[in-house]
Amino acid sequence: MKLVKIPDDKYQEYRLNLMFDCYKWDPQFLDNNTVAKYALVLTEKEHEELVKITESIDKETIEAENYLNNNLKLAKPLALPTKIYGELKRMNNYESDKHVRLMRYDFHPTMDEKWCVSEVNSDVPGGFAESSLMPNEAIKAIGIEDYTFINFGDILAKAIKEKIKENGTIFFVHCTCYSDDRQVMQYLGDKLKKDGYKIIYGAADHIRFENKKAYSILSGNECEIDAIFRFTPLEWLKDMKPKFWDGYFDTTTVSCNHPIAIFAQTKRFPLIWSSLEKEGLSLENWKKYLPETIEVSKAKGKEGYIYKPACGRVGEKISIKEACSKEEYKEILKDVKKHPKEYLAQKKFISKPLISDDGKEYHVCLGSYTVNGKQSGYYARISHLPRIDSNAADIPVLIERSKKDEN
Amino acid sequence: MKTNKEVYKIWAPENIIWSGWVRPVPFIGINENLRVQEYEEFSIPEVLYIKEYQNDTAIILDLPGSSAIKEGLALAKLGYRPIPIYNGTDEQEGSSCLVDNHGIEYSLMLAADVLDQMDFKSDAAPVFLTDSNRMNSQKMSVKIFDNSWDVYSQDLPTPEYLKSHGIDKVIIRSDMIRKDINKIFYKFQKEGIKIYFTEGYEEPKIIKLKNIRYKN
């Protein structure tokens, strides 16, 4: 794995193209440019290894969530929000082959030359355009033809199309006030629109359910929906009033993701692995790559653990001391003390930074997607700090063709 | 007609330190979704509250619709670099919505021609442009597309960044101080930036922002 520089004389055009041709509408966060000046290049061997690990872990995740769905008592230690826990029994009509299951696993290279998986983005992973269009722009800018990439968007769009009728209606549920959400939806929506599908962008409360089927109530767009693509996190839905969101849990309308995703979305998921193993499920691969994860109470007085919020997103509120301001670190510890069940303690791994040709160190978070159990592409971010959060820069992931393929 | 990329490049030229904060969102629709606003009168107003450019002062114009774009050009004449931070999206086709962003898109395009003819010092202090209608989030019906939006601290440079470029004063020009702006600039104030306010008729007066409870 290496960093390859986008040539300085091409960078400004590259960044502009990402904004206007590749749905990169958030190129700045505070004082940080969020478009990396590099591409992340994997060898084919690394790619093959990542595919194998990703799919093995994904298989375990899917088996676990299906098992939990039929054995909800086992899910209690996940400490899901009460409002959500109360709706889980509605999912007893869930049939995995009727929906599209999308996840992204976050990999990090470690100092002992291994991969570590810090978590799975099980519910609403993002980064679609960055993983689908950005690599192509990078290849054009770098000008080397030895690189290839996996077009995640093509794979995801195909999986959706396979589940619904031609020219069907797809509703993209997102927080309509956030342009950062819209850019993710708009990329996929435009792609499917070109293939003849009717696309509706709207909020979670613009959908009503009748006889378990989804209908759009958005003004000027009232109609039956053939597929729901949801980018609003489940734990945000529960705060919607009046309560129409429960229909998401038992709808027969094709969903990506279905709320089944909540079991693995909570970062407390590893806390029930031993119970699942007693029931005969295997989590062997997960355990190999995820750092030891324990209850906050059990980490008391132990060295080398960090705290993570159970419902955390984009690296926020993770207590990596050297990556937080003093004030932020203090705030996190205070919150952990106050709400220990909303956190977990995880053994800290030592991220191995990559060094660029110009001598700069970058930590990497390499997200590996799965769509219906198959590895489907990458989304990566780099940062000078070991915690990869909103301050990190998006970086396209390329794969270097091995020489044998050229012969 | 210029493309969205061309218009954006006029607002966010390369090698200008503030260009990174020009959000691309309102420029995206210029190619495909641009609605020509025939009623839109594009004239640059007279600025009464500030007489001359000051290198140590940044300004935020929180005015309705595209008013900040026009007033931003007036301040550009004094030497300030206008930096649009509009971040509202267009509504779903066919739907009613809470905020009309099309007028802003059209004005950014019109103003680009004027801006293109202006000269600035390379380190000219910024005037950030935003739409005070952005927080119109009261829906008459659940069926309406809510494209209201807030300004967040991540949409602006940090106080440290401003100070490192010799800026230790911020003037907020609006009819009132909205909650999102208060939240951001309260932190600036804590970091030693002096905050001034003007409604546009009088000279800006120094104010002390309070830490109000506000959840975005």
Give A 144-203 residues with CB within 8 A of chain B.
Answer: 176-179, 182, 200-203
Q: Would you say residue B38 has pLDDT above 70?
A: no
Per the model's pLDDT, the better-predicted residue between A3 and B102 turns out to be A3
Quote the pTM value: 0.94
Copy the structure tokens of residue A172: 């993209």
The answer to whether A221 contacts chain B (CB < 8 Å) is yes
* CA gap B99, A114 in Å, rounded: 50
A376's enclosing H/E stretch is strand A374-383
Separate counts of helices (H) and strands (E) for chain B: 6, 6
Q: Is A23 left (phi over 0), alpha (psi -120 to 50) or beta?
A: left
- Selection from B202, B150, A19 nearest residue A27 by Cα: A19
Give residue-wise pLDDT tens across range A218-264: 999 999 999 999 999 998 998 888 888 999 999 999 999 999 999 99
What is residue A407's predicted lDDT score, i.e. its pLDDT?
43
Give residue-wise pLDDT tens across range B47-96: 999 999 999 999 999 999 999 999 999 999 999 999 999 999 999 999 99
- Selection from A81, A106, A89, A101 nearest residue A268 by Cα: A81
* CA gap B151, B172 in Å, rounded: 14
Q: Would you say residue B170 has pLDDT above 60?
A: yes
| Strand A254-256 with A227-230, pairing | parallel
B195's enclosing H/E stretch is strand B194-198
Contact B210, B201 (CB under 8 A): no
Tell me if A220 and B25 make a contact (CB, 8 A cut-off).
Answer: no
* CA gap A87, A74 in Å, rounded: 15
Secondary-structure percent of chain B, ordered helix, strand, coil, rounded to 5: 35, 15, 50
Stretches where chain A sits below pLDDT 50 are 406-407
Q: Is A135 left (phi over 0), alpha (psi -120 to 50) or beta?
A: alpha
Tell me if B8 and A20 make a contact (CB, 8 A cut-off).
Answer: yes
| Residue B49 identity (one-letter amino acid) | Y
Q: Would you say residue B18 has pLDDT above 90?
A: yes
**B79-82: Cβ within 8 A, 24+ apart:** B79/B53, B79/B120, B79/B121, B79/B124, B79/B125, B80/B53, B80/B124, B80/B125, B80/B126, B80/B127, B81/B16, B81/B18, B81/B120, B81/B124, B81/B125, B81/B126, B81/B127, B82/B11, B82/B115, B82/B126, B82/B127, B82/B129
The answer to whether B94 contacts chain A (CB < 8 Å) is yes
Q: Would you say residue B111 has pLDDT above 90?
A: yes
For A26, nearest residue in chain B (alpha carbons): B23
* CA gap A121, A107 in Å, rounded: 11
Of A30, A176, A221, the CB nearest to B153: A30
Contacts of B148 in chain A (CB under 8 A): 177
For A19, nearest residue in chain B (alpha carbons): B24
Give B 95-124 residues with CB within 8 A of chain A.
Answer: 95-96
Tell me if B145 and A176 make a contact (CB, 8 A cut-off).
Answer: yes
Contacts of A20 in chain B (CB under 8 A): 4-5, 8, 24, 27-28
A120's enclosing H/E stretch is strand A115-121
What is residue A336's predicted lDDT score, i.e. its pLDDT?
86
Residues in chain B: 216
Enter the DSSP assignment of B14.
T
Tell me if B150 and A202 make a contact (CB, 8 A cut-off).
Answer: no
Task: Give the end-to-end CA distance of chain A in Å, rounded to a whole number.
Answer: 23
Tell me if A179 and B5 make a contact (CB, 8 A cut-off).
Answer: no
Q: How far is B28 from chain A (nearest CA, A)?
A: 6
Return the beta strands (E) in A166-249 as ranges.
169-173, 198-202, 207-210, 213-216, 223-224, 227-230
| Residue A219 identity (one-letter amino acid) | S
The answer to whether B57 contacts chain A (CB < 8 Å) is no
- Residue with the two structure tokens 């904060």: B21
Tell me if A179 and B14 make a contact (CB, 8 A cut-off).
Answer: no
